């Protein structure tokens, strides 16, 4: 079968012809219909996120049709449309037993630690395959499995209640989903803090109140808009100590700030005046849980989570086209997502 693989860090991906993978009991073989090209894939290629089991087929945002099921598989059948949860967990360790699969002691990421979806076929444990209703295209089914799933996990971690106000710092892929999901979960006023001047119109169109941090301090703007109170929930999706601090400072009493963006910088907080006396909470967010995916799929099926077709671009399963898309991601500032449409000869 055809696959597009990372052979060497810092080098372009290459077209490869590899054997169709064998399935073990409890696994399924999926004919890939669509695979999302993610910012993380660019980081793997560049060596920013380390991979030490090369060569590997990238691609952790995958949707397709079940081609074959192994022994002991009952949740999916041949011919089912499915999308794939990208964390392969053991299902037996203490974390897995409590449904906390992202902390599994032997967790493996699809398309990083094991072969992913930049290929005609992929093998995953059956418990990683989730039914994809016909209302959702394979393209959307694939890209939902990463940033949208993480945005939903972040909002779940904040325990957002209907009517509560939300501030979203960063309106990229995560923010685009987070805004719609906050709305779907009943969030009240939603503020979007985004430095890119091309984005306020879109945020407003999607029902949010844009905040321009270049005009004046975004915390002051949020305080002013909320009569001095601040917001109940904030999400930091950028990965900068400065915006993380702002996400905490804009909280109302009992507010919760979920930090999702990654940074190596340290963040300073004055414990008494900025956290303790408001009983505010700072919550770390990492990936998402398999158990949250059916909710996400249902929100997409019912149109509460959408992706406008103008923001989707399709390429073939071809190394040159995929490398081009990864190059473009290095300095991407828009919402355009590139998806590999995997067409099979068979």
The contact set with Zn ion (CB under 5 A) reads 38, 89-90, 93, 96, 104, 146
**At closest approach, how far in Å is the CB of 142 from Zn ion?**
10
Which residues, at least 6 apart from 318, have a Cβ–Cβ distance to it below 8 Å? 4, 15
**At closest approach, how far in Å is the CB of 200 from Zn ion?**
26
Q: Decide if 323 contacts 7 (C-beta within 8 A).
A: no
**At closest approach, how far in Å is the CB of 281 from Zn ion?**
27
User: What DSSP letter does each residue of 124-135 carry, written as one string?
Assistant: EEGGGEEE--TT
Nearer to Zn ion, 167 or 296 (CB): 296
Nearer to Zn ion, 93 or 289 (CB): 93
Rounded to whole angstroms, the Cα distance separating 178 from 207 reads: 12
Q: Decide if 76 contacts 66 (C-beta within 8 A).
A: yes
Q: How many CA atoms lie within 13 A of 176 on its CB side?
A: 18
Nearer to Zn ion, 38 or 244 (CB): 38
**At closest approach, how far in Å is the CB of 145 from Zn ion?**
8
Nearer to Zn ion, 330 or 344 (CB): 330
Q: Decide if 299 contacts 184 (C-beta within 8 A).
A: yes
**At closest approach, how far in Å is the CB of 14 from Zn ion?**
21
Nearer to Zn ion, 38 or 208 (CB): 38
Provide φ and ψ at 139, rounded to 5°.
-60, -50
- Distances in Å between the Cα of 340 and the Cα atoms of 37, 62, 133, 271, 334 are 7, 10, 20, 47, 18
**At closest approach, how far in Å is the CB of 173 from Zn ion?**
8
Nearer to Zn ion, 89 or 256 (CB): 89
């Amino acid at each position: 079968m055809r696959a597009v693989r990372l052979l060497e860090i810092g080098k372009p991906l290459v077209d490869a012809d590899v054997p169709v993978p064998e399935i073990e009991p409890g696994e399924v073989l999926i004919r890939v219909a669509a695979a999302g090209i993610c910012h993380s894939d660019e980081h793997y290629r560049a060596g920013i996120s380390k991979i030490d089991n090369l060569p590997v087929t990238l691609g952790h945002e995958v949707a397709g049709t079940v081609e074959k099921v192994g022994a002991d598989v009952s949740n999916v059948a041949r011919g089912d449309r499915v999308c794939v949860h990208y964390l392969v967990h053991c299902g037996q360790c203490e974390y897995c037993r409590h449904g906390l699969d992202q902390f599994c002691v032997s967790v493996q990421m699809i398309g990083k630690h094991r072969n992913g979806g930049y290929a005609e076929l992929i093998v995953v444990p059956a418990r990683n395959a989730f039914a994809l209703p016909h209302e959702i295209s394979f393209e959307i089914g694939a890209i939902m499995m990463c940033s949208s799933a993480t945005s939903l996990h972040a909002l779940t971690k904040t325990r957002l209640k209907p009517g509560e106000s939300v501030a979203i710092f960063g309106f990229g892929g995560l923010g685009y989903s987070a805004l719609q999901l906050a709305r779907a979960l009943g969030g009240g006023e939603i503020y979007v803090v985004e430095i890119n001047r091309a984005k306020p119109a879109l945020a407003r169109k999607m029902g949010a109140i844009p905040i321009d941090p270049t005009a004046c301090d975004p915390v002051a703007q949020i305080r002013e808009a909320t009569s001095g109170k601040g917001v109940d929930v904030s999400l930091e999706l950028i990965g900068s100590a400065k915006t993380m601090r702002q996400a905490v400072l804009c909280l109302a009493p009992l507010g919760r700030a979920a930090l999702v963006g990654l940074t190596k910088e340290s963040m300073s907080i004055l414990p008494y005046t900025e956290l303790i006396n408001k009983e505010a909470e700072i919550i770390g967010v990492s990936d998402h849980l398999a158990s949250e995916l059916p909710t996400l799929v249902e929100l997409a099926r019912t149109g509460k989570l959408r992706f406008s077709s103008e923001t989707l671009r399709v390429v073939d399963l071809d190394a040159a086209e995929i490398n081009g898309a990864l190059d473009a991601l290095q300095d991407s500032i828009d919402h355009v997502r590139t998806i590999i449409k995997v067409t099979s000869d068979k």
